[in-house]
A = this chain, B = another copy of it.
Amino acid sequence: MNLAQALFTPRAVALVGASGDAGKNTARPQRYLKKHGYAGRVVPINPTRAEVLGERAYPSLADAPEGIEHAFVMAPGDAVEQALEDCGRRGVPVMSVYSDGFADAGATGAARQARLAARAKELGVRLLGPNSMGVVNLPGRLALTVNAVLEMDAPPAGTTSIVSQSGTMLGTVLSRGAARGLGFAKLVSLGNEADLGAGEVVALLAADTDTRVILLFLETVRDAPRLAAAARAAHAAGKPVVAYKLGRSALGEALARSHTGAIAGSDAAVDAFFRDCGIVRVDMLETLVEIAPLLAGRQPPRLSRAPRVAVVTTTGGGAASVVDRLGLHGIETVAPGSDAPIIDLTMAATPQKYAATLDALLASPECDAVLATVGSSAQFHPQLAVEPILAAKPAAKPLAAFFTPHADRSLALLAKAGIAAFRTPEACADAFAAYFAWRAPREAPRLPPVELPREKGALAVMASLGIEVAPSQVARAPDYAHTVPYPVAVKIHAPGVEHKTEAGGVILGVMGRDDLLRAAKSLPGGEVLVQKMESGLTEAIVGYRDDPLVGPVVLVGAGGVLAEVYRDSVLRMAPVSAAEAEEMIGEVKGLAVMRGYRNLPKGDVHALAQAVAAMSRLALVPGRPVAEAECNPVIVKAQGAIAVDALLVMKE
């Protein structure tokens, strides 16, 4: 049977561990199914009762009637494993597990989860969870969940679906959205993702006719390749995918790991990953709740200049609070036909004039989005306040509203009409920033596999990838003979010494043989690396990392200690083409200097881009044996870019 059907529209569900005490959490699914009008059959499974909340109960799934399409398991301990066996035997295609004590409970629980997942696979039963709060299908009237948000009367059905690793936050998005009239389609609490993960669920929603926008609340990424494929499928189906992901700060990342048992990844890599597969990332929780109408039915913008928003307002201060924030996101405002920053209708606002202004802006090539700001009337005369916004002709260009007062009714009126409206200036600006940062999924360059040379030296590996490296030789005591032309740098030759400069292991500007002997003898080990001195206009760093969460990424940043302090670098999923690498370089602030800053001479951006693209090809080595690699510094000259030091860390 079809997975989507069993998950979202089962004709009969079993509730394993359903409580007869209506006040208990484990009684909720049965209460909620009834409350929200589930039309299928509900079969409570309870070993000690013949009847649960008015329905006939059965002691086990084995005893239940035929035709169960989705079992929701709340029973503790071994009852989960038993329920799985019963599902397998009775042909129940999907089992959702609320019970915890799996990967959420340390190593023993993780092992138990692995066994459960393996057995489910053997039995052909698909598993949601464990530690999942279940599934809700609002248009389909299925509330198969323990999430208390379903206490709500009649949450509005809509076309936005939510997939969440946190059951609570699934409820948060539904609760906050519903309170202001935003409707939802399908909601899935992923739990520990032992089997069904974010990727596969997004793929189901990409194919779901009730879903137009897919929201993700993520604490980690467990199935990057699958999620990427699903996001691409969603894009192909015209459905934007939006993610709010925790772990932007080190503190948040540590908490997410302790909370989910996930492995450590880098947030910058997650950013690169989302961009790569076309997922829109929002910064604020409320933006996740509010952004869907801004994106629904739209395509990623294609701009070759800074994005421009036209702001129409009846309140200067209200518009200013959004505009100030847009500016922080690098967005400009325009008032076509005027050099004022906004279009202030305060003194001359009639609904007709307001609506005509919006239509003109939506049709104007001079702006890329339109924001309508409304003051007090949004609170006390909602119908009047939103009338001109509702009257605006739908356009490919996004239209959004911000109301300065508490204005739930105005927000709900726009929600009903499918027009984006924001409660706070910050979420409004965050949503515009997310929209303008939205990219179609990238077509990764199709390149042949790459072979790593046998030599172990990191610089040699870099050279084999196609990165130009400074000529060097190992010179040995007692005479330290070499053929590198002077001036040279003499470096300690001990693999594993990082930050050689700070460790006092680099002597620069060695001009001749006497100098060389003195320098070489001052370093330990009886052998040194003699390298041609390179000097250029600026230094860059080029790096590669196989991120444990999202896979191979390539990095370019400004070189030197300062750039390291400022963490000024740009990441993309590897491999990248040289053209993509040039784009990356264009985004590194500290490399502004080499791109032409005041009258300073320009560096060879193209050569640096070639080096970045070459480094990124480490992603093409079969089996991806490299964990991490770095050329630091890469000396960028007026012509050429030369790596003078490198690091290579293989996976264990």
Contact = CB atoms under 8 A, between A and B. Distances in A.
A168 B376 contact: yes
Contact of A323 (B255, B319, B342, B377): B255
A327 B251 contact: yes
Given A171-B376, A284-B424, A328 B248 contact: yes
A196 interface: no
Contact of A376 (B147, B179, B326, B377): B147
A326 B504 CA distance: 38
Interface in A516-567: 558, 560-563, 565-566
A404 interface: yes
Contacts of A379: 148-149, 151-152, 175
A285 interface: yes
B593 A566 contact: no
B169 A318 contact: yes
A129 interface: no
A166 B320 contact: yes
Contact of A320 (B148, B219, B318): B219
Contact of A565 (B319, B340, B503, B597): B597
Contacts of A376: 147-149, 151, 168, 171, 175
Nearest to A332: B251
B404 A169 contact: yes
Interface in A226-254: 246-254
Contacts of A247: 324
A325 B284 CA distance: 9
A93 to B, nearest CB: 28
A504 B601 CA distance: 11
A413 to B, nearest CB: 17
Contact of A255 (B147, B178, B324): B324
Contact of A321 (B285, B377, B593): B285
Contacts of A320: 166, 219, 246, 252, 255-256, 259
Given A168-B315, A219-B320, A375-B171, A589 B565 contact: yes
Contacts of A333: 251, 255
B148 A380 contact: yes
A499 interface: yes
Contacts of A151: 376, 379-380
Contacts of A328: 248-249, 252
B172 A599 contact: no
A175 B565 contact: no
Contacts of A342: 255
Nearest to A503: B599
Nearest to A166: B317
A130 interface: no
Q: Kindly report how many copies of this chain are found in the complex they form together.
A: 2
A598 B424 contact: no
Most buried by B among A317, A425, A502, A568: A317
Interface string A6-39: 0000000000000000000000000000000000
Contacts of A561: 593, 597, 600
A176 interface: yes
A643 to B, nearest CB: 20
B251 A326 contact: yes
A286 interface: yes
B249 A327 contact: yes
Contact of A502 (B179, B375, B590, B599): B599
Given A259-B316, A318-B169, A376-B168, A406 B179 contact: yes
Nearest to A563: B562
A31 to B, nearest CB: 13
A69 interface: no
Most buried by B among A148, A178, A247, A405: A405
A441 interface: no
A172 B219 contact: no
Contacts of A217: 317
A168 B251 contact: no
A592 B566 CA distance: 10
Contacts of A315: 166, 168
A440 B167 CA distance: 43
Contacts of A590: 562, 565-566
18 contacts: A147-B376, A148-B379, A165-B317, A167-B317, A169-B318, A169-B404, A175-B406, A176-B405, A176-B406, A248-B327, A250-B327, A251-B331, A256-B320, A424-B424, A560-B562, A561-B597, A561-B600, A565-B590
Interface of A: 147-149, 151-152, 164-169, 171-172, 175-176, 178-179, 217, 219, 246-256, 258-259, 284-286, 315-321, 323-328, 331-333, 340-342, 375-377, 379-380, 404-406, 424-426, 499, 502-504, 558, 560-563, 565-566, 568, 589-590, 592-593, 597-600
